[in-house]
Structure 1
Amino acid sequence: MDGEGDDTAVEANETAGGTAAHEAPGSAPTGDAAALVDQSAVKPAELTCPNPECGVVVYPGEVYCENCGHRLIAGQPGNGAPATSGGTECVGCGEAAVDAEGYCEHCGLKQPADRDHLEVALDTPGGPVAGVSDRGKRYARNEDAFAIAPHNTGVAAVVCDGVGSSPRPETASRAAADTAATEIASALGAGASPGDAVRAAVAKAAAAVSALADSPEQAPSCTFVAAVTGPDGVTVGWVGDSRAYWLSADDLRAGDPGDGDLADTGELNAAALNAELDAAYNAELSGDPNATTPDAETLPLGASRRLTDDDSWAAFMVASGALTEAEAEAHPNAHVITAWLGADAGEVRPHVRAFLPDRPGTLLVCSDGLWNYFPGAEELAAVLRNAQADPAADPAGAARTLVRHALDAGGRDNITVAVLPMAAAPSTEQAR
């Protein structure tokens, strides 16, 4: 993904160099030719939406404003042209002129979609949990999806982010999230371990997304992250750069930052990533296609931290020692992902890790529309702490708070977050 949140997938063996820039189709006239240019036809450097209630920057060639949905191209319906008949009725002008993409062909208004803003709040045996997804301020549709599924000993949350450079990314994320959440709950109900349930869910989600492809060149795709709670702790699995975080209750209390500096030990941890690559390589040599990150050893959660490592160009370059974290994050390829679900993804190998909470806290699962603005666990904890949003008391309010802060910070991507409060595990001794 690029720094603004557009998802771009690349094959894992692609070279680390930047992609060549393409010249614009045509160049500005020079010399005498420039003098002949009709100045009345020159457009300002930044075009803005003509809707007086909007006014955001728009770009040449765009038909609709991605912020408010107004049509931008003159001479087409939307500028007083006669409305077409037989369509769905527009919520703005009332004409039956809504096209297949959800725009009114008479007034240009983008119709509200079911996925523009979604909220789910559930009461589970382990307590309340919640999720919120919002399309943000830039895009005309929400390409994120999430699903929350209670199971017999806890709850599973799945967040998927459609890859924007692929066709129909919103269908990929929806299929993956729904398929995975259902499979996790089913597998756990049948007695599977959380790690095996997550691996089975990723396999079924990958198959569901691959089935959407018209061809290998027209393959919808998405990232994936799942978190499963239960009496034995937390299990997370992921493919791509959607993330899971642990936010300790101590770090969320207003006026009490916990144990001093928050330990975001998952942030581009080169040593951990190198160990993970070695584990994957050794598992491949041993003939075990499912063993990626070993989850037999349950790790203590402790203070707030990130639980996942991105499948991204930046993470790979840091893990390999080629760049420092600051250098990698400043590179244009920083958020290009190196693994995803889709017919063009090749063999999908999820990362799976297990953790044991030694104190109460909150499991947070999110897309990059949130973490692009607040990448560290300490930053996410600070947002909730400063807003006095207590996830344990009101997980839906905490999820709304995080989404609102991402919108206020720019909202340049779809934003999705699931909030799962947890108590400390009954026993904090690790089985080794």
Structure 2
Amino acid sequence: MDVAMTSTTRTVCPTCGGPVSDADRYCETCGAELKPATPSTPALDTDTEPTIELNPKAGTAATAAAPGPCRSCGGKVGAEGYCETCGTKAAKPRDHFTEQPAPWVAAVCDRGIRHSRNEDAVAIAAEQEPGSRALLVVCDGVSSSLDSDVASLAAARAARDVLVAGNAQGMGTEASRAAAIVARLNAAADAASEAVLANTSPDSPNPASCTFVAAVLEDGLLVTGVVGDSRAYWFPDGAEAVALTVDDSWAAELIATGVPRHEAENGPQGHAITRWLGKDAPDHTPRTTTLRVQQPGWLLVCSDGLWNYCSEAAPLGDLVRQTAAANGNDPLATSSALVDWANAQGGQDNITVALARL
């Protein structure tokens, strides 16, 4: 199914969360006057973003900086991308990058061991006060397309930017506030989908596509949205771990019929997804979940490169808690250690770990 591109950017009403466009002066849902949006959440720390720029020509990417020293020996990396001392091929900035907009929120995105490129992407934002407001987005590019690495990064950043710009509070009740956040998640998924389309080569036989998962935390209210099989989990201290998302996948459908999780997820179609973002996507409206956070804990948003090796919420929660304790409960160090753990298990896929410590 082809998706028509328009020049109007869809957003949400800051009062009620209803859908509006740049051309609207008043919200058709609640009648509020619409003014140009101003970001209320601190911008992403650009010092930690990968030095990747999206080329105006769809489907291409360019590095913005020369490669650093060789990671193997410290020697000079030549223009062709190989160390002039030991001959090791230099890592690309896209292969491994981190983000940490606030001390309590961080993410690590890594190529893994087996794949030749990193098709995962992450984009996050947060206010400085711990537990106040955080926005975490993870997209996992489908490897059959030549453009999915570029498209997934564009999608994650586009979704994050929509979530940063909107801070609708609803009509004064928690239910209306949750509905406003859901509307923002829908708008973020729309923006991510448009970014994928904008970064798909028109002559590609396999259009770029990716999964999408986003978590919005605002003053104790946690809302997640998912398309595909990237996931979000909530691991409260001293309480039962919670899987916040349900995969759009063949394995999830088998599990729903009673097939054991291990058997379904490790079968021949274990990672076949039934929904995604992209030109040929059947539907990209996120499946959402709302939770009131009432105690300290860890919010995890990740790609299947991590949960491949520990899928169920309880053991994954134990892994995150133990890893965090060994790393001083620091979100960036813990995210990095979890990526290292996944690579130690085989690193068969790209790995993305985004954590918020509440």
From the superposition, tell whether residues 357 and 313 of structure 1 become closer, same or farther in structure 2 (CA, over 3 Å).
same
Question: What amino acid does structure 2 have at the position aligned with 1:142?
Answer: N
Matches within 5 A, 1:234-313: 234-250=222-238, 258=239, 303-313=240-250
- Say if 2:121 is the partner of 1:145: yes
1:339 aligns to what? 275
- Say if 2:101 is the partner of 1:165: no
Matches within 5 A, 1:31-70: none
Contact 1:97 1:105 in 2 (8 A): no
2:332 aligns to what? 396
Q: Alpha-carbon deviation of 1:213?
A: 2.1
Q: Alpha-carbon deviation of 1:158?
A: 0.3
Question: What amino acid does structure 1 have at the position aligned with 2:274?
Answer: T
Q: Deviations over 1:312-341 (max 9, x none)?
A: 11112332x274445423420111111111
1:205 aligns to what? 192
2: CA distance, partners of 1:105 / 1:342: 40
- Say if 2:202 is the partner of 1:226: no
Question: What amino acid does structure 1 have at the position aligned with 2:278?
Answer: G
Contact 1:151 1:189 in 2 (8 A): no
Question: What amino acid does structure 1 have at the position aligned with 2:114?
Answer: R
From the superposition, tell whether residues 313 and 110 of structure 1 become closer, same or farther in structure 2 (CA, over 3 Å).
same
SS in 1 for 2:115: coil
Contact 2:147 2:201 in 1 (8 A): no
2: CA distance, partners of 1:393 / 1:106: 39
Contact 1:369 1:413 in 2 (8 A): yes
Contact 2:144 2:206 in 1 (8 A): no
* TM-score w.r.t. length of structure 1: 0.58
2:318 aligns to what? 382
Size of the aligned set, in residue pairs, is 277
Question: What amino acid does structure 2 have at the position aligned with 1:182?
Answer: D
Contact 1:246 1:305 in 2 (8 A): yes
2: CA distance, partners of 1:353 / 1:410: 32
Contact 1:144 1:170 in 2 (8 A): yes
Question: What amino acid does structure 1 have at the position aligned with 2:104?
Answer: P
2:104 aligns to what? 128
Q: Alpha-carbon deviation of 1:214?
A: 2.6
Q: Alpha-carbon deviation of 1:110?
A: 2.7
1:182 aligns to what? 161
Of the two, which has the highest radius of gyration? Answer: 1
1: CA distance, partners of 2:164 / 2:127: 5
Q: Alpha-carbon deviation of 1:240?
A: 0.4
1: CA distance, partners of 2:67 / 2:351: 29
- Say if 2:304 is the partner of 1:371: no
2: CA distance, partners of 1:389 / 1:410: 24
2: CA distance, partners of 1:411 / 1:333: 19
SS in 1 for 2:94: coil
Question: What amino acid does structure 2 have at the position aligned with 1:419?
Answer: L
From the superposition, tell whether residues 327 and 196 of structure 1 become closer, same or farther in structure 2 (CA, over 3 Å).
same
Give me the CA root mean square deviation.
Answer: 2.9
SS in 1 for 2:187: helix
SS in 2 for 1:115: helix
Aligned-residue sequence identity (percent) comes to 42
From the superposition, tell whether residues 305 and 224 of structure 1 become closer, same or farther in structure 2 (CA, over 3 Å).
same
Q: Alpha-carbon deviation of 1:116?
A: 1.9
Q: Deviations over 1:204-229 (max 9, x none)?
A: 11011012223373411111100010
Question: What amino acid does structure 2 have at the position aligned with 1:351?
Answer: R
1: CA distance, partners of 2:283 / 2:226: 14
2: CA distance, partners of 1:390 / 1:411: 21
SS in 1 for 2:340: helix
SS in 1 for 2:167: helix
1: CA distance, partners of 2:113 / 2:99: 21
1:418 aligns to what? 354
From the superposition, tell whether residues 389 and 343 of structure 1 become closer, same or farther in structure 2 (CA, over 3 Å).
same
Question: What amino acid does structure 1 have at the position aligned with 2:249?
Answer: S
Contact 2:105 2:126 in 1 (8 A): no
Q: Alpha-carbon deviation of 1:141?
A: 1.9
From the superposition, tell whether residues 317 and 387 of structure 1 become closer, same or farther in structure 2 (CA, over 3 Å).
closer
- Say if 2:328 is the partner of 1:406: no
Alignment counterpart, residue 98 of structure 2, candidates 107, 119, 124: 119
- Give unmatched runs, 5+ long, in structure 1: 1-87, 251-257, 259-302, 423-432
2: CA distance, partners of 1:90 / 1:402: 25
